[in-house]
Amino acid sequence: MLSFSRSQTTKGIWLAKSPNFQRFTLVMDIEGTDGRERGEDDTTFEKQSTLFALAVSDVVLINMWCHDIGREQAANKPLLKTVFQVMMRLFTPRKSTLIFVIRDKTKTPLEYLEPILREDIQKIWDSAPKPEAHMNTPLSEFFNVEVVALSSCERMEDQFTEEVGCMRQRFFHPNEHGELAGDRHGAVPASGFSFSAVKIWEDIKQNKDLNIPSHKVMVATVRCEEIVNEKYAAFAGNKEWSQLEKAVQSATDHDHRGFGDKLSRILDTYISEYDGEATYYDEGVRSEKRKQLEEKLLKLAQPAFKASLKHIRCSTLDKFKEAFKRALDGQEGFSVAVSNCTEYLMAQFDKDCADAAIKQANWDTSKVKDKLRRDIEAHVASVLSDKITQHTALCKEKLEELLLGPVKALLEKASNETWPTIRTLLQLETESVSSGSWNAHRGFDMDEQTKAKIHASLEEHGRGVVEAKAKEEAGRVLTSMVARFSKNFSHDSDSIERVWNPNEDIRAIAKTARSASLEVLSVMAAIRLHHDGDEIQNTLSLSFLDSTDPSSEDRNITRIDPLGLNAWEKIPLSNTLISPPTCKDVWERFMAEAEVIVSDAIAKQEANKRNNNWLPPIWAIVALIVLGFNEFMALYRNPFYLCVIIVVFVLFHALWVRLDIAGEFHNGVLPGLQSLSAKIVPTIGCMIKRPAEERTRPAAR
């Protein structure tokens, strides 16, 4: 089927070798620059092809209709301006020939048309932006401009053929009609033409200055941008949006509710208005600017959205803290409370985030959710730490309560088994309290490291309690030594107070009591929570108890005094309570006080000796017999006196026994008299009443 429609003859760029020229000549044909096939929106290729032709050709024929001279678009002025501008920037000057072929010339002589055309070309050159290097470069440095006029092919065919033949002769015999090739110095050799053409085309394709949009696109761009700015300004000044933003920024508990729906509705309003006003403009530009409007509106709304998420996160965290506290107060297990509260409130957070989401945006909330989860974990860790700290403090108080009394009693008792017993007691009580701590923390899911840390803390606290008590007792060691000496010296093994009769060996008893007091000093001299095996007891014994032995004195002549050192052997300085020099000073003060007690005992023993020797001297007895002969005879003659004397003797003996007169005078005459004066009357009354009670007892039966 034949088609008689009129269409574009040349499409793209065609290149062929001319068969009629003597010298090797390539002829390039490019499509027209104002064809309807490409339309008004695709002017890039015509600019690229035109620039390519100017860059690689020695002679360029520009076909122009006579009636288009003086016009803007039809005369290709914008095209030439763009091509000139890019050519000066991309390529070095190489003069080529521009032949403007004016078709269908009219009666207007060529002499009138040519100046107009040259003037237009010169204006295009002058107005084209130039790089600094070509700011003052004239048009003649790049092009030789010639103008040729041809008659109408349809109305004057013979004349047109003749004029075309004359023009062809210039290419067959260029020397006769003038050189058309222009500047040959920058010409590329035939062997390199292919590579040069490819490189020139790549440079042209990469140049953005040739991608100038069409008039319709430019109008759509300008107008759509105006609409975008109008809608953006209207949204920014929208009262409802301002109130919503203010409410979110100063968020109270419920100000974020419905934030996403409200903001989405406001955004929809302005985007729909844009769509309505821009509906008749270029679709590509309209879509691009619509996207820009959405981005600008969302960028303006994003801070409020972030503030809403921040409030949701903070509010959810506060709710978690309250719910978690209630769960713990309700005796719910720690781990169970953490799991339940976290699961519930994270679900609530997701719901609130969905409520705050904007449907026009796909903003990620995972970072905020991760931040919330980290905050919850930090709070749980803080609560767990506080709970463990509180319970550990209670365990320490309990351990201290369990240790103080027994440790004090053991230190006061002070024997060789004191520190081993204290160590055993400390270990047992620490294990007991520690086991109770694990049971109390069973719901906390503590790892072994935490348990070991708590146990170590209790052990350290227990040692601190023992050390503090030991230091306290060491501060009054002299009092303890004197008390121990007084107890052992003044009481026998049955804890009965001694009566210092002549048979008691006071010196031996005192030595034994001093040995017991020295044991107190030895125990209190150092803390022995880690080990025994020290020589403090032996050192003190050799220094204080065995120093009176003559053989020991001989040995000590060549031996260094161990109490002259500042520390005990095998005892760290930190565990020393009483240094050797201090022990020496304490012992001297103790001996002074002990000597007073011993002296008092010796005095009492001497007094008892005197009190027990109650018989008068022999001479006194003889004197009594001689001088009392008359009295004896009187008693012999009158037995009544003898009876009275016997009765008085019995009564006196009874009083002597009941009142324990010998014992009362044991502590001295004056104390004995005071004691007897207070006891004699009640004793006599008791002795009188007792016979009366004996007589009335059978009658009562």
Which of 481-485, 527-531, 632-636 is the least confident region? 632-636
How far, in Å, CA of 701 to CA of 699, rounded? 5
* In a shared domain, residues 58 and 174: yes
> Structure tokens of 291?
């996207």
Question: Are 301 and 200 found together in one domain?
Answer: no
Asked if 475 and 413 touch (Cβ cutoff 8 Å), the reply is no
Distance CA 152, CA 161 (A): 10
158 — pLDDT class (breaks 50, 70, 90):
confident
pLDDT class of 571 with cuts at 50, 70, 90: confident
Residue where the block lists tokens 């003659």: 637
Length of the chain: 701
Whole-angstrom Cα distance, residue 108 to residue 543? Answer: 148
- With 0-12 / 13-18 / 19 or more C-beta atoms within 10 angstroms meaning exposed / middle / buried, residue 66 is middle
Q: Is residue 382 part of a domain?
A: no
528 or 25, higher pLDDT:
528
Q: What is the mean pLDDT of residues 437-453?
A: 68
Mean pLDDT estimate for the chain: 75
Q: What is the pLDDT of residues 238-279, one digit of tens each?
A: 888 888 778 777 755 455 567 777 888 888 888 888 888 888
Same domain, 205 and 236: no
Same domain, 272 and 162: no
In a domain, 380, yes or no: no
When mean pLDDT is compared across 201-215, 501-515, 533-547, the lowest value belongs to 201-215
| Tokens describing residue 541 | 């014994």
**Domain identity same for 316 and 409:** no
pLDDT per residue as tens digits for the range 620-632 = 777 777 777 777 7
145: which strand partners? 98
Task: Specify the pLDDT at position 204.
Answer: 72
Q: Are residues 223 and 200 in the same domain?
A: no
Lowest mean pLDDT among 80-84, 203-207, 682-686: 80-84
For residue 107, being part of any structural domain is answered with yes
Range of the domain at 99: 13-210
Q: How many CA atoms lie within 13 A of 214 on its CB side?
A: 16
Q: Is 485 inside a domain boundary?
A: no
Which pLDDT does position 487 carry in this prediction? 86
Distance separating alpha carbons of residues 266 and 304, to the nearest angstrom? 14
**Domain membership flag for residue 619:** no
Q: What is the mean pLDDT of residues 634-641?
A: 74
> Residue 425, exposed/middle/buried by CB under 10 A (0-12, 13-18, 19+)?
middle
This prediction has a pTM of 0.50
CATH number at residue 114: 3.40.50.300
CB atoms within 10 A of CB 421: 15
Tens digits of residue pLDDT in 463-474: 888 888 888 888
- Helix H or strand E encompassing 603: helix 580-612
Q: 155 and 28 share a domain? A: yes
Do both 242 and 190 map to the same domain? no
Contact partners, residue 212, CB within 8 Å, separation at least 6: 43, 44, 47, 82
**How many structural domains comprise the chain?**
4
Residue 477 domain flag: no
Point out the domain boundary residue: 580, 595, 612.
612
Same domain, 203 and 222: no
Statement to judge: residues 580 and 444 lie in one domain:
no
Q: Report yes or no on 234 lying in a domain.
A: yes
For residue 441, which phi and psi values (nearest 5 degrees)?
Answer: -100, 20
Q: In percent, how much of the chain has pLDDT > 90? A: 0
Q: How many CB atoms lie within 10 A of CB 175?
A: 6
The contacts of residue 357 (CB under 8 Å, 6+ apart) are 260, 363, 365
Distance CA 654, CA 643 (A): 17
Q: Are residues 497 and 590 in the same domain?
A: yes
Exposed/middle/buried for residue 47 (C-beta within 10 Å: 0-12, 13-18, 19+): buried
Of 298, 312, 331, 339, nearest in space to 258 by CA: 312
Same domain, 193 and 218: no
Among candidate residues 275, 298, 322, the one where a domain is terminated: 322
Which residues are 30's β-sheet partners? 13
State which of 210, 245, 265 marks the end of a domain.
Answer: 210
Does residue 418 form part of some domain? yes
The predicted structure's pLDDT at residue 295: 85
